[in-house]
Amino acid sequence: MIPDSAEGLSAAYASGKLSPVEATRECLARIAAWEPKLNAMYRLDRDGALAQAHAAEARWRAGAPLSPLDGVPITIKENIHTRGDPAPIGTRANQDLPPQRDDAPSAARVREAGCVILGKTTMPDYGMLSSGVSSFHGVTRNPWMLNRNPSGSSSGAGAAAAAGYAPLHLGTDIGGSVRLPATHCGIFALKPSLGRVPVHPPYMGRVVGPMTRSVADAALLMNVIARPDPRDFMSLPASQQDFAVKTANPRELKIGFLPDMGVGLAVQPEVRAAAEAAAAALAGAGCAVESIRSFLTEEMLDGMCRFFEARLHNDLAQLPAARRGKVLPFVAEWCTWRAGGFSGRDVMQAYTLVMAMREAAVAATEAYDFLLSPTSPIVAYEADLPAPGNDSHDALPHIAFTVPWNMSEQPAASVNWSWSGGGLPIGIQLIGKRFDDAGVLRLAKLVEEIRPKQRPWPRQPATA
């Protein structure tokens, strides 16, 4: 049987028990079986992937792999540039843009490491809503339940990881976009500290992060993508840190438990119960756990929403009318209904509230090694909705647990804990101090070890 983890594949390649070509063919077969139902892939390069796999096979046979991940299949979110591929950023407004000439930093790093790039995954228009609905890609669905949303904006990556398209996936996150798909698809995802993984073009809060089925695989991918790239003028100094996972010692940890943000959507009872169970399990393992109150106000969250609206409204205002008309109507309404009337003062007031949220987030973690919270207040919502509640004037009520850590630049991960009564995954979020990405991975590994028994991954559809 072919391992479904990067860790397992690397060991099998090294021992000669398995070839990258065999693993790539297995991934392509899974994609062929699932894709008519999920719609997680934007571009699939079968011939290119097999050529990369043959080259990796030759390197392993010669005893000269490029890295431990040489020959391991990976997908990349479509807004992470890869040379030769267009990057429409999820919207029909960009459907005629030419292919990219260069790899983005993270794409360049995985190519240098010899990963087999299978193709690009889907995302919603401009990546600004946590959904699998796109004017360009259509609807991406959740493999745990096809009438449910994988969330977003790394929607295709989340669905692909749960369905076993590859062991490794790259997503982006500016408000929750790797962690929300992780909780709704039952996988692991890390939002690194800002600048830990170079991004181009960089922007406040924007990161690239690994999305995998295990913490160990995410750590292996971090060892590759955290390498320096001069194009990111916001990146952290180069480091030789090894992210390989060692389990945290629970008796050395003080954890703040944040069960409710008090703003945005109310936390569903099953979600709160999962977070409480995780907190109790960590306490039982020896961690010092104490509950804390929310630091987030309605004004801060609304300031963040207004800032995002103003940002996208500015982007759309620069498009010709014909292209602007191709944007998903929900997204166009969301970013214009009030941002169209913003003054410069309005935008700066929103920015000031974002900075207040950043300060409050950092202060909330000061007394603790880590925080624990739900990742999302809700389980996966309807697949065909662009946002939970389907209200274009209140499109981001579900990001209160995730977005503060983008603005505070702190690492945060989502680890699956349990399932709802209806069979949907429920993840918990682990937040560390700025720059302690390795610490978050170690704590996530501990959570993997003490969590309830996990369910089998969604069953692959039968092929005709």
Alpha helices in 19-116 (DSSP H): 20-38, 46-61, 105-112
| CA-based nearest residue to 106, from 31, 27, 168 | 168
Query: Would residue 135 show up in a list of annotated catalytic residues for this protein?
Result: no
Annotated active-site residue in 10, 19, 77, 433: 77
Query: Would residue 177 show up in a list of annotated catalytic residues for this protein?
Result: yes
As a whole number of angstroms, the distance between CA 277 and CA 283 comes to: 10
Q: Is the dihedral of CA 99, 100, 103, 104 positive or negative?
A: negative
Structure tokens at 250: 């629970």
DSSP for residue 264: S
As a whole number of angstroms, the distance between CA 59 and CA 13 comes to: 10
- DSSP code per residue over 187-237: -EEEEPPTTTS--SS--TT-EEEEEESSHHHHHHHHHHHTS--TT-TTPPP
Q: Please write down the HEC assignment for all residues of 164-196.
A: CCCCEEEEEECCCCCHHHHHHHCCEEEECCCCC
Annotated active-site residue in 155, 177, 193, 214: 177
| CA-based nearest residue to 150, from 166, 137, 161 | 161
End-to-end, the C-alpha distance of the chain in Å comes to 22
As a whole number of angstroms, the distance between CA 373 and CA 385 comes to: 25
Query: Would residue 37 show up in a list of annotated catalytic residues for this protein?
Result: no
Which residues are catalytically annotated? 77, 153, 177
